[in-house]
Amino acid sequence: MAKEIGVDLGTANVLIYVDGEGIILNEPSVVAIDTKTEKILAVGTEAYQMVGRTPGNIRAVRPLKDGVISDFDMTEAMLSRFMSKLNVKGVMSRPNIMVCAPTNITSIERKAIIGAAEKSGGGKVYLEYEPKVAAVGAGLDIFSPIASMVIDMGGGTTDIAVLSLGDIVTSESIRIAGDKMNVDISNMVKNDHGLMIGERTSEQIKIQIGTATPLDEPEEMEVRGRDSFTGMPRTVTLNANEVEEAMHDTLTQIVTAAHAVLARIQPELASDIIDRGIVLTGGGALLRGVDKLIAQHLGVPVMISEKPLDNVAKGAGMLLAHMHAN
């Protein structure tokens, strides 16, 4: 019997969940290619280590942008490599796959995602919306008549949805998420400290000292980069409140989008959400204080799911198994 596989084809990471085995792959969505021969040199973690450090003829590419495929061939090659790694673990050669996508994708983008999954070795391929599978992965009962609300903060997109009776009642997908926060941080370091830093360094700053709310005693971190004036290597010290200020507008846009979703639902569903609260999933949920920030602005309890990074892939695998069982 074919295995059920859930794939979170994210802008920042690809996660693969196999029914009965859990998450068996979690690697960055990066492909390294030789520009002279167009040959793929590495994918995933190995390729990510090359970001910002490659010689002229090697290019590290992110084949997904804002939650959708920007380079079809690269996405297909990356997925194929990841799927071939799974075969070692005894997964059947043509598994059923459920892939996830943001709620606002076009029909062309839908076809591209399904096509890439089919070509990478999938049997039957299904596509489901990210906030719906994230809710399932977070342990919410989306099939009950009581409403659930999920904010899935990924790398390229933030997907917000209210679910009831197994489907999305209303949703919003904005192309503002973790990657945008990384850009905010690198711009702040450049403008305020005259230091050029790379994408990986920005992400490290966000993970180590990033905060969604100002702190009384902000942590500090030493950051190395290139002086934008002299071109020489230099070190500066950043504090968490500088990082909060840099990301403030981006976080405000996410809160505003969540507010817009709440404003569109029926009063009965709104009262369910006041009772049950909002669940945060995705890598963005790990940003310190983001739950407090959202709760403060929306006046609704906010919880972070148990393993926010795994929810989409796990939910996809569980939903696929549920579909076939019924």
Greatest C-alpha distance within the chain: 65
Residue 13 marked ligand-binding: yes
pLDDT, average across residues 31-41:
90
Is 109 found in the same domain as 150? no
Direct distance between the N- and C-terminal alpha carbons of the chain, in angstroms, rounded to an integer: 16
Residue 156 among known ligand-binding residues:
yes
Q: Is 203 annotated among the ligand-binding residues?
A: yes
Same domain, 243 and 155: yes
Dump pLDDT digits (tens) for 162-190.
Answer: 999 999 999 999 999 999 999 999 999 99
Number of domains in the chain: 2
Average pLDDT over residues 260-278: 95
Q: How far apart are CA 190 and CA 18, in angstroms?
A: 43
What is the domain-level CATH number for residue 174?
3.30.420.40
pTM of the predicted model as reported, rounded to 2 decimal places = 0.92
Q: C-alpha angle with apex 19: 73 to 141, nearest 5 degrees?
A: 105
* 25 and 105 part of one domain: yes
35 is an annotated ligand-binding site residue: no
Annotated ligand binding at 204? The verdict is yes
Indicate if 46 and 156 belong to the same structural domain.
no
Q: Does 286 show up as a binding residue in the annotation?
A: yes
Is 191 annotated as a binding-site member?
Answer: no
What is the arithmetic mean of pLDDT over 117-142? 91
pLDDT in tens, 6-32: 999 999 999 999 988 999 999 999 999
State yes or no: pLDDT of 313 exceeds 50. yes
Query: Domain check: are 41 and 173 in the same one?
Result: no
Q: Do 10 and 113 fall into the same domain?
A: yes
155 in a labelled binding site: yes
Q: C-alpha dihedral over 122, 126, 129, 130, to 10 degrees? A: -30
In terms of domains, do 221 and 88 share one? no
- In this structure, are 315 and 274 located in the same domain? no
Residue 285 shares a structural domain with residue 161? yes
Residues 28 and 57 in one domain: yes
Q: Which domain holds residue 66?
A: 4-132+311-325
Angle formed by the axes of helices 290-298 and 240-264, to 10°? 40
Confidence of residue 280 (pLDDT cuts 50, 70, 90): very high
Residues 231 and 289 occupy one common structural domain: yes
Same domain, residue pair 80 and 209: no
